Amino acid sequence: MKKTMIALAAASALAMGTMSVPQKAEAHAWWVIPSIVLGAAVVGGTVIANSHAHAQAYHAAPPYAPRGSVHVAPTRGCYLQAQPALFGGHRYIEVCR
């Protein structure tokens, strides 16, 4: 029995030593290229969808529509007066009677 126990202990020591041998590290990042392709597809789809959404808004107005802010003022008795600005130059204010 003593010989059997010694043989089993030696066999288990060899088995544990064989299993615990360090393995070579393999850092294969297989997910990098698919994630780049998927990210490009998502960003491209977002850009295309955004351009189509804004294209409808730009084509809805006729070409003669006013752009920017429209300022309506009475035409009689109003004029622009130049005043000196704080840091040099002039600023123009509207004076109405």
What is the pLDDT at residue 41? 93
Query: What average pLDDT does range 4-14 have in this prediction?
Result: 84
Handedness of CA 5, 9, 15, 16 (dihedral sign): positive
pLDDT digits (tens, 9 = 90+) for 42-69: 999 888 888 777 665 555 555 665 566 6
Close Cβ partners of 92 (under 8 Å, ≥ 6 residues apart): 80, 81, 82, 83
Per-residue tokens: 89: 């130059």
Domain ranges of the chain: 73-97
Of the two residues 71 and 30, the one the predictor is more confident about is 30
Question: Which of 83, 82, 80, 84 is CA-nearest to residue 95?
Answer: 80
Longest dimension (CA), the chain: 124
φ/ψ bin of 40: left (φ > 0), alpha (ψ from -120 to 50), beta (otherwise) = alpha
**Whole-number percent of the chain with pLDDT over 90:** 10
Per-residue tokens: 58: 């730009």
Of the two residues 60 and 12, the one the predictor is more confident about is 12
Query: What average pLDDT does range 25-43 have in this prediction?
Result: 87
Query: Does the predicted model carry a pTM greater than 0.75?
Result: no
